Structure 1
Amino acid sequence: MAQRSRSRSAKPPSRWRRILKWTVGLGVAGAVLGLLALVIAVYTARASLPSFDELKSSPNGQMIRVHAADGTVIVSLGPSYGEWIPYSQIPQPMRDAMIAVEDRRFRSHWGVDPVGIARGIQVSFQRDRRVAGVSTITQQLARNVFLTSNRSYIRKLREGILALALERKFSKDQLLELYLNKAYFGGGAYGIDAASRKFFGHPAATLSLSESAIIAGLVKAPSNYSPTADADAAIDRGRVVLRLMRQQGVAGADAVEEADIKAVKLAPEPMQNSVRYFTDWALPQLEMLIDETVQPLEVWTTLDLDMQRAADQAVRANTPGGAQGALVALDRGGEVRAMVGGKDYVNSIYNRATQATRQPGSAFKLFVYLTALEAGHKPDDQVVDEPVTIQGWSPRNSSRRYSGAIDLRTAFAYSINTIAAKLGLEVGFGAVADMARRFGITTPVNTQPSMVLGTSDVRLIDMTRAFASISQKGVAVTPYGITRVTANNQVIYQHQVDTSRVLVAPYVAAQMTDLLQTAVNTGTARAAQIGRPVAGKTGTTSSNKDGWFLGFSSGLTTGVWMGRDDAKPIPGLQGGTAPARAFANFMGKAVAKRPVEQFDTQVTLPDWQLEPDDETYFGEPDNAMMVDADGNPLTPAAPNDPAVDDERPPAEPAPTLDDLIDRITGRPTPRPESAPVRPPAGSGPVRDVPARPPVAQPRDQEPARPNQ
Structure 2
Amino acid sequence: MRPSHSKTATEAMVKPGTGEIKAMVVSKTYGDSKKKGQTTLNLAADYAHGGNGGYSAGSTFKIFTLAAALDKGYSVGTTLPAPNSTTVSGYTDCKGHGFEPWSVRNAELSKASSADLATGTWESLNTYYAYLEQRVGLCDSVRMAQRFGMRQATGRPLQQVPAQVLGTGDIDVTHLAAAYAAFAAHGRYCAPIAITGVTDSTGKKINVPGAGCRRAVDAGVADEVTRILQGVLTKGTGRGLGIGRPAAAKTGTCEGFACAAFAGYTPDLAAAVWFGDPAAPFGDPSPGVFGANVGPIWRASMQGALRGTAPTSFTSHS
Matched, 1:589 2:286: no
The structure-2 alpha-carbon separation of the partners of 1:420 and 1:365, relative to structure 1 and needing over 3 Å to count, comes to same
Kept in 2, the 8 Å contact 1:474–1:509? The answer is yes
1:588 & 1:427 partners in 2: Cα distance? 36
Instruction: Flag structure 1 segments of 5+ consecutive residues without an equivalent.
Output: 1-315, 602-708
**351, 354, 375: which is aligned to 2:72?**
375
Matched, 1:334 2:43: no
Matched, 1:322 2:6: yes
AA matched with 2:235: T
AA matched with 1:415: S
Kept in 2, the 8 Å contact 1:545–1:573? The answer is no
Kept in 2, the 8 Å contact 1:473–1:510? The answer is yes
Larger strand fraction of residues: 2
Once the two structures are TM-superposed, the CA of residue 470 in structure 1 deviates from its matched residue by: 0.7
SS of the residue corresponding to residue 250 of structure 2 reads strand
Once the two structures are TM-superposed, the CA of residue 382 in structure 1 deviates from its matched residue by: 2.8
The structure-2 alpha-carbon separation of the partners of 1:446 and 1:496, relative to structure 1 and needing over 3 Å to count, comes to closer
The structure-2 alpha-carbon separation of the partners of 1:543 and 1:498, relative to structure 1 and needing over 3 Å to count, comes to closer
Partner residue in 2 for 1:417? 126
Paired residue total: 285
Root mean square deviation, CA, Å? 2.2
**139, 145, 150: which is aligned to 1:430?**
139
Equivalences for residues 155-554 of structure 1 within 5 A? 316=1, 321-332=5-16, 333-346=18-31, 347-354=38-45, 355-356=51-52, 357-386=54-83, 387-390=86-89, 391-443=100-152, 444-493=157-206, 501-554=214-267
1:353 & 1:551 partners in 2: Cα distance? 16
Structure 1 segments, 4+ long, off by >3 Å, are 494-500
Once the two structures are TM-superposed, the CA of residue 580 in structure 1 deviates from its matched residue by: 1.0
- Residue by residue over 1:482-505, the C-alpha shift from the partner in whole angstroms, topping out at 9 and shown as x without a partner, is 122122241322669667511100
Once the two structures are TM-superposed, the CA of residue 402 in structure 1 deviates from its matched residue by: 5.0
- Residue by residue over 1:314-351, the C-alpha shift from the partner in whole angstroms, topping out at 9 and shown as x without a partner, is xx37x893111111011121111111134212432211
Kept in 2, the 8 Å contact 1:439–1:476? The answer is yes
AA matched with 1:321: H
1:416 & 1:580 partners in 2: Cα distance? 18
SS of the residue corresponding to residue 279 of structure 2 reads coil
Once the two structures are TM-superposed, the CA of residue 403 in structure 1 deviates from its matched residue by: 0.8
1:448 & 1:532 partners in 2: Cα distance? 37
Kept in 1, the 8 Å contact 2:193–2:211? The answer is no
SS of the residue corresponding to residue 569 of structure 1 reads coil
Once the two structures are TM-superposed, the CA of residue 584 in structure 1 deviates from its matched residue by: 0.9
- Residue by residue over 1:682-701, the C-alpha shift from the partner in whole angstroms, topping out at 9 and shown as x without a partner, is xxxxxxxxxxxxxxxxxxxx
Once the two structures are TM-superposed, the CA of residue 546 in structure 1 deviates from its matched residue by: 1.6
Kept in 1, the 8 Å contact 2:196–2:210? The answer is no
AA matched with 1:393: W
The structure-2 alpha-carbon separation of the partners of 1:419 and 1:593, relative to structure 1 and needing over 3 Å to count, comes to same
2:291 & 2:65 partners in 1: Cα distance? 20
AA matched with 2:297: A
Instruction: Flag structure 2 segments of 5+ consecutive residues without an equivalent.
Output: 32-37, 46-50, 90-99
2:41 & 2:27 partners in 1: Cα distance? 7
1:322 & 1:575 partners in 2: Cα distance? 17
2:313 & 2:116 partners in 1: Cα distance? 23
Once the two structures are TM-superposed, the CA of residue 437 in structure 1 deviates from its matched residue by: 1.2
2:291 & 2:137 partners in 1: Cα distance? 28
Please tell me whether Structure 1 or Structure 2 has the larger radius of gyration of its CA atoms.
1
Larger helix fraction of residues: 1
1:456 & 1:511 partners in 2: Cα distance? 25
2:58 & 2:119 partners in 1: Cα distance? 18
Partner residue in 1 for 2:48? none
Partner residue in 1 for 2:34? none
2:213 & 2:161 partners in 1: Cα distance? 33
1:374 & 1:416 partners in 2: Cα distance? 20
2:301 & 2:204 partners in 1: Cα distance? 34
